[in-house]
Copies of this chain bind each other. A is one copy, B any other.
Amino acid sequence: MGKEEEDAWVVMKTARAPSNIAVIKYWGKRDEKLILPINSSISVTLDPEHLSATTTVAASPAFERDRLWLNGKEVSVEGERYRNCLREMRARATDVVIESSGKVITKEVWSTLHIHIASENNFPTAAGLASSAAGFACLVYSLAQLMNVKEKYEGELTAIARLGSGSACRSLYGGFVKWNMGQEADGKDSIATQLAEQSHWEDLVIIIAVVSSRQKETSSTSGMQESVKTSPLLKYRAEEMVPKRIGQMEKAIKSMDFAEFARITCADSNQFHATCLDTSPPIFYLNDSSRRLIGLVERWNRHAGEPQVAYTFDAGPNAVMFAKNKEVAVQLLKRLLYQFPPSAEADLSRYDYLGHS
C-alpha cells in the first residue's frame, strides 16, 4: 500500500536540441574514453525546426532499469557513452519538488532512480548529419531539467554531452560555437563555448542537400580511430593547420566576412575528406553527387568573382551549404533543382531550406 504510493509517481521532461555542422572539422580523438579531440573545432548550430532531436526523460520508482528508445525502437542503454552521461548527471542532481504531491526527490533518491529515455530525430540517423550530436545534447539537457542540475562552471554540461558524442558538446548553444580541445587529462577544459548568437549574422542562410539518407558505411567513431592510427596527413592537419584556421574562422565570424568564412569552410571540409582518403584503408564519404555539388559551387563562386556559397560535408555525402544571403539562397535552390531534378536517377533526393537556430 505504502509501496504502491511510492510507485505511483513519475516525473518527466521533454526537450529539443538542434544538430550542428562543423565549419572547422573535428576528426580524431586523443582520449577514446573521455572523447577528447586532437584539435579544436567550430560549428554552426542548425535550425531545430529542420534538424533536431526531441527527447523525453522520465524517472519513477516503478522503473526497474534504465531504458532507451531511439526513434521508437528500444536499444541498449548499457553502452559506455550512455552510462557515462547518466552517471555524471546523477552525480549533479539536486532536490526536485513534485508539484502535484509536494514530494521532494533528493540527491540520494536520484542516485537510486532508474531513467526511461525516448528520443527521436526529425532527420536521417547516421547519415553524416550529426544525429548523435543532437541526441546526446538533448539527453544531457533534458536530464538537467529533470534533475535540476546547475552548472558549477560554464560549459560543464557541454563536457558531459561530450562524453556521449564529441560534437554533441557544440549543440548546447545556438549560433556559432567553438569546441576548445583543452589540455587537461580529465577533459574538464574540453568544453564548448558560444562565439556568437545566430542573430549576429542574420543574412547567412543554410541549405542542406540530402544526397543520400543511407547510413554511412564507416561510422565516425571507427573512421577517426583508423585515421588517427594510419594517416600522417591527419596528424599534420591537427597540429599545424587547424590552430591557424580556428583563429582565422573566429575572425571571419566576428566580422561577418563571408568571403573568408566560405574560403576556410570549403578548404577545411576538403582537407578533412583528404585525411579520410589518406587513411589505410581509405575512407570515402563523398560520392559523385557530392562532387557535382562541389563543382557547381566552385564554378559559381569563381564566376561571381567572390564567394557566394560555401559547402561543407561531414562523415557522409550530404552537403550543408551556406548562402551569402536570401537572394543567393533562392538562386542556389534554383540551380540545385536544375542540376539535380528530384526525378532524375541522381540520388539527391531532398533539400532543406534553413535559417540556422
Residue positions of A touching B, CB distance < 8 A: 232-233, 236-237, 240-241, 263, 266-267, 270-271, 273-275, 277-282, 284, 287-288, 291, 294, 298, 302
Contact = CB atoms under 8 A, between A and B. Distances in A.
Contact of A233 (B274, B287, B302): B274
B302 A271 contact: no
Contacts of A241: 232
Contact of A277 (B237, B277, B280): B277
26 contacts: A232-B240, A232-B241, A233-B233, A233-B236, A233-B271, A233-B274, A233-B278, A236-B236, A236-B240, A266-B280, A267-B278, A270-B277, A270-B279, A270-B280, A270-B282, A273-B277, A274-B274, A274-B275, A274-B278, A277-B277, A281-B294, A281-B298, A282-B298, A284-B291, A287-B288, A288-B288
A318 to B, nearest CB: 16
Q: What is the interface of chain A mostly: helix, strand, loop, or mixed?
A: helix
A250 to B, nearest CB: 19
A349 B215 CA distance: 30
A38 to B, nearest CB: 16
Given A271-B278, A273-B277, A282-B294, 16 more contacts: A232-B241, A233-B237, A233-B274, A267-B278, A267-B280, A270-B277, A270-B279, A271-B277, A274-B274, A274-B275, A274-B277, A281-B302, A282-B298, A284-B291, A287-B288, A288-B288
- Please tell me how many copies of the chain the complex holds: 2
A36 to B, nearest CB: 24
A288 B287 CA distance: 6
In the A-B complex, the 7 residue pairs with the closest CB atoms:
A274-B274, A281-B298, A274-B278, A274-B277, A270-B282, A288-B288, A236-B236
A47 to B, nearest CB: 28
Contacts of A294: 281-282, 284
The listed residue with most B CB atoms (<10 A of its CB), out of A232, A233, A287, is A233
A281 B279 CA distance: 22
A278 B284 contact: no
A17 to B, nearest CB: 32
A30 B94 CA distance: 65
